[in-house]
Amino acid sequence: MSLADPWIAALAALFLWWFSTGAILLVVRLADRMGGRAGAVAALAGLPLLGLGIWGYLVTLDGAGHAAAYHGFLAALAIWGWIELAFLTGLVTGPNLRPCPATLPEWERFLRAWGTVAYHEMALLAALLWMWIASSEAANAFGFWTFAVLYFARISAKLNLYFGVPRINTEFIPGALQHLPSHFRIRRANWLFPISVTALSFAVACWLERLFAVDAALDIVGFALLTAMTALALLEHWLMVVPLPDAKLWRWMLPAPKQTKGKVEGHHGF
C-alpha cells in the first residue's frame, strides 16, 4: 500500500484531525494554566503556522499527483488551525464577553450569541472566500474543499448548540471562553439537527461517488480525504445526541485544567 491508496488517505485524515485537534488543545490548556496574556502570546507565536498554510495553499493549487492533494489538505488544516487557536485563546472571539442571562427574549439571545463569536466567524468567512477566489481556476482545489467542509460543518455545529441538543460537553473550553456555555441550550431535539445530519450524510455519499468515479491519483487521494473529514464531521454531530466519551481521545494527553469555580465537562463547535 502507498500514500496514493484511498484507505491510507482516509487514515491519514483521521490521524491528522486527531493530532491537530490535540495539539491545539494542548497549547490552549498550557496557556490557560499560565494565565495572564499567555493565550494571546501563544496565538501570535503561532502566526508562522498561518503563514506556512497560506504559502502551502498557494503553491499547491497547480499541483498534480497524490502529494498535491495531501499538501493542499495540510495547508487548509494549518489555516483553519491557527484561526481556531486564536479563538480558543481569546485573541479573536467577539465583542460580547459576558454570560447570557437565562430569561432573555430569543432575538436578544441570538444577538448576544453572535456577539460572542462574531470576529471569529468573520475571520473564517474571509479565509473561505479568499481560498475560493484563489482556487477558482486551479487544478488542485482540495485545500479549498477541505476548508469548506470544516467551515460549514462548524457553522452547523454552532447552530445546533445554540438551538439545543441533548449532550453538550465543555471540558476543553478555556478560561477565556467560560461565558460560551451560557449561550448553549440543552434540549431533547431541535429542528436543525436532522437537516444537518442529512446534509452531511449526502455530502459523504457525494464524495464517495466521486472517489469511485475518478482515476487520477490527485483526485483519488483528494476525495478520500474529503470523505473522511466529512464523515468525522457527521460523527461529531451524532456525538451531540449519543452519550459516548469522545473527550477521552485527548484528555489523556493534556495537563490538568486550571482550577476554576464551578465544574465544566469535549467540545463541539463553539
Comparing 56 with 170, the larger pLDDT belongs to: 56
The distance of Cα 153 from the centroid of its chain, to the nearest Å, equals: 8
Residue 135 has pLDDT above 80, yes or no: yes
pLDDT tier at 213 (50, 70, 90 boundaries)? very high
CA dist 99 and 179 (Å) reads 5
Cα separation, 6 vs 19, whole angstroms = 20
Sign, CA dihedral 112-114-115-116, equals positive
Confidence of residue 131 (pLDDT cuts 50, 70, 90): very high
CB 44 within 8 A of CB 25: no
Q: In angstroms, rounded to a whole number, what is the distance separating the alpha carbons of residues 233 and 227?
A: 10
Residue 118 scores a pLDDT above 70:
yes
Give start and end residues of each alpha helix (H) in 1-141. 6-34, 38-45, 47-59, 66-88, 106-134
- At 226 the pLDDT is 98
